[in-house]
């Protein structure tokens, strides 16, 4: 049974201040062990995966029918919710959930490895593709955008809760992988659509400008090129990841 919402109308309220940190500070999730999910879609995507919110948060003007069930809830005056939000149009509803405990790396799980992928939108998009095409874990090496930062959470649109995530990992973690490591290259390797892809596998995607680092490329069992008949030199990393992960999923 849920308790009545606590009503907050002051920006000095400690709960509100902690919530605003979660919403706007990329590192607050590490300190608090929780993340802020703004919007009905993102919050309910987590709930659909079995995540129970620690706290539901609603603007005073949020209709009852849109409110999210949770053991505890907070009702914010509309100006406070608007100040909390980083969206152009505040959603008036959100939830706080605990960051899932990181499990040990599964050596044979279909995996995505991010090497210094720094744009939050790219990282979130790659997580969505990974979840859609049957990959089960993501390793973000140090130098990549934090997987649990607010912008990556929004871009992931709930994919976080379908994946085992390893954030800020050292390269040595990859020593445990037994699935073959695949990488894309603009200049070498066979064409993606012509080769036979192993399953399970681990795909490696690199920095937006520099690509995969040479020492990580040396770990790859296979390097492939994506055919670009239009003549472009390279693809955005999120677009390349979607193509590669779909090809792997379709080849299973």
Q: Are residues 83 and 141 in the same domain?
A: no
Rg (CA), the chain: 20
Q: Which domain holds residue 241?
A: 111-250
Same domain, 33 and 11: yes
Domain boundary among 55, 74, 98: 98
Single pTM value for the model: 0.92
Do 198 and 228 reside in the same domain of the chain? yes
pLDDT at res. 216: 93
Contact between residue 128 and residue 159 where contact means Cβ atoms under 8 Å apart? yes
What is the per-residue pLDDT across 63-101, written as a single tens digit (0 to 9) for each?
Answer: 998 899 899 999 999 999 999 998 888 889 999 999 998
Q: How many domains does the chain have?
A: 2
81: left (phi over 0), alpha (psi -120 to 50) or beta: alpha
**Residues 56 and 70 sit within 8 Å (Cβ to Cβ):** yes
What's residue 232's pLDDT? 65
Is there a contact between 87 and 39 (Cβ–Cβ < 8 Å)? yes
Q: Is residue 153 part of a domain?
A: yes
Compute the C-alpha angle 182/176/118, nearest 5°.
55
Residue 106 in any domain: the answer is no
- CA–CA dist 168, 135 (Å, integer): 19
Quickly list H helices, 88-219. 120-132, 150-156, 214-217
Inside any domain, residue 105 = no
Pseudo-torsion of CA 194, 199, 204, 208, nearest 10°?
Answer: 50
Domain termination site, one of 98, 119, 153: 98
Same domain, 115 and 226: yes
Q: What percent of the chain has pLDDT over 70?
A: 97
160 with 187, same domain: the answer is yes
199/156 same-domain check: yes
Cα dist from 6 to 56, 57, 63, 230, whole Å: 10, 10, 16, 57
- Residue 145 is part of a domain; what is its CATH number? 3.40.1280.10
User: Quick one: pLDDT at residue 1?
Assistant: 44
pLDDT digits (tens, 9 = 90+) for 198-214: 999 999 999 888 889 99
Whether residue 224 sits in one domain with residue 175:
yes
Is 103 domain-assigned? no
Whether residue 135 sits in one domain with residue 79: no
> What is the predicted pLDDT for the residue at 228?
79
Do 142 and 240 fall into the same domain? yes
55 neighbors 119 (Cβ within 8 angstroms): no
235/123 same-domain check: yes
Over residues 210-223, the pLDDT tens digits come to 889 999 999 999 99
């Amino acid at each position: 049974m849920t308790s009545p919402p606590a009503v907050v109308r002051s920006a000095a309220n400690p709960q509100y201040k902690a919530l605003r940190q979660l919403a706007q500070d990329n590192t607050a999730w590490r300190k608090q062990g929780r993340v802020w999910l703004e919007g009905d879609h993102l919050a309910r995507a987590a709930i659909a995966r079995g995540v129970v919110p620690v706290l539901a948060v609603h603007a005073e003007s949020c209709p009852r029918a849109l409110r999210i069930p949770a053991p505890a809830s907070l009702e914010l005056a509309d100006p406070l919710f608007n100040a909390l939000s980083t969206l152009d149009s505040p959603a008036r509803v959100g939830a706080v959930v605990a960051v899932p405990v990181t499990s040990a790396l599964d050596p044979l799980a279909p995996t995505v490895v991010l090497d210094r992928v720094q744009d939050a939108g790219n990282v979130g998009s790659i997580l969505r593709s990974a979840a859609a095409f049957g990959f089960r874990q993501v390793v973000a090496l140090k130098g990549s955008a934090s997987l649990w930062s607010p912008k990556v959470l929004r871009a992931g649109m709930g994919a976080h809760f379908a994946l085992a995530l390893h954030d800020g990992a050292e390269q040595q973690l990859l020593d445990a992988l037994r699935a073959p490591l695949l990488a894309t290259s603009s200049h070498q390797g066979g064409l993606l659509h012509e080769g036979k892809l192993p399953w399970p596998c681990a795909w490696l995607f690199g920095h937006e400008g520099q690509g995969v680092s040479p020492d990580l490329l040396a770990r790859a069992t296979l390097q492939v090129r994506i055919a670009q008949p239009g003549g472009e030199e390279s693809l955005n990393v999120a677009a390349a990841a979607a193509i590669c992960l779909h090809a792997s999923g379709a080849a299973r």
